[in-house]
């Protein structure tokens, strides 16, 4: 049995991880970013705050999906096929954060 899975399986795993965790994180960040933005405006209308956070979460889902796939897929392929030092989770997290910063810009 080979020690490394085939390239297409690594591609599918990267796509699955980025496609699942990206929208989840995007929803969470979008919801709380909109919540804090509306709370900072010092409004007394609670209904607008709820709807704003809901819309912020909905906007965060596709942005999180795009960022998750753009970061997870290359990082997965680099760590399994070439750069073996990325098996260290701390280094991989650092590289992923840098790549996500460039993906958002």
Q: Which tens digit of pLDDT belongs to each residue from 54-82?
A: 888 899 999 999 988 888 888 888 878 77
Q: CB–CB of 38/49 below 8 Å?
A: yes
Domain that holds residue 55: 7-104
Cβ atoms of residues 9 and 80 within 8 Å: no
Residue 19 is assigned to a structural domain of this protein: yes
Q: What is the pLDDT of residue 45?
A: 61
Nearest to 4, CA basis, from 74, 86, 78, 81: 81
Task: Identify whether 2 is part of a domain.
Answer: no
pLDDT value for 88: 83
Residues of the chain with pLDDT under 70: 1-2, 42-48, 105
The pLDDT of residue 27 = 93
Residue 30 lies in a domain: yes
Q: How many domains does the chain have?
A: 1
pLDDT of residue 44: 67
Query: Has residue 79 been placed in a domain?
Result: yes
């Amino acid at each position: 049995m080979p020690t490394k899975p085939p390239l297409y399986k690594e591609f599918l795993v990267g796509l699955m991880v980025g496609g699942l965790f990206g929208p989840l994180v995007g929803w969470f960040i979008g919801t709380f970013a909109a919540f804090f933005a509306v709370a900072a405006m010092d409004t007394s209308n609670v209904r607008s705050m709820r709807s704003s956070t809901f819309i912020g979460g909905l906007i965060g889902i596709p942005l999180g999906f795009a960022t998750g796939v753009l970061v997870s897929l290359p990082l997965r392929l680099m760590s399994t096929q070439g750069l073996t030092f990325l098996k260290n989770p701390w280094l991989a997290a650092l590289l992923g954060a840098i790549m996500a910063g460039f993906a958002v810009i």
